[in-house]
């Protein structure tokens, strides 16, 4: 899902997607509800800072069904902010 935004310093940007919309509510969805399968949301954001430098910020979150929360994935390499050349 691609989206665009213009932000200034300290301004948050949120967008929402229905995590369960990609499932047929069959066995996979039930396995996530039961905790026998884990759903990870992995992505990145490309952006330019006020000096024109390009960056890529990557992220990974684990979806927790019982609380509908996204938990930070602490494994190295998934959450980063890098300069792009």
Range of the domain at 69: 38-84
Q: What percent of the chain has pLDDT over 90?
A: 31
Q: With contact defined as beta carbons under 8 Å apart, do 79 and 35 qualify?
A: no
Q: Name the pLDDT band for 35 (thresholds 50, 70, 90).
A: confident
Tokens of 31: 């396995």
d(Cα 39, Cα 23) in Å, to the nearest integer? 11
Average pLDDT of the chain is: 85
Q: 3-class SS at 28?
A: helix
Q: With contact defined as beta carbons under 8 Å apart, do 19 and 63 qualify?
A: yes
Q: 3-class SS at 19?
A: helix
**Full-model pTM:** 0.68
> Does residue 16 lie within any of the structural domains?
no
> Does residue 64 lie within any of the structural domains?
yes
Q: Name the pLDDT band for 10 (thresholds 50, 70, 90).
A: confident
Number of folded domains in the chain? 1
> Does residue 17 lie within any of the structural domains?
no
State mean pLDDT over 16-43. 79
């Amino acid at each position: 899902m691609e989206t665009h935004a213009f932000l200034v310093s300290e301004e948050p940007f949120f967008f929402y997607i229905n995590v369960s919309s990609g499932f047929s509510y069959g066995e996979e969805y039930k396995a996530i509800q039961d905790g026998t399968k884990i759903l990870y949301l992995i992505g990145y954001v490309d952006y330019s800072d006020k000096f024109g430098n390009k960056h890529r910020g990557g992220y990974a979150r684990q979806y927790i069904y019982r609380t509908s929360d996204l938990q930070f994935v602490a494994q190295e390499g998934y959450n980063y902010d890098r300069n792009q050349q």
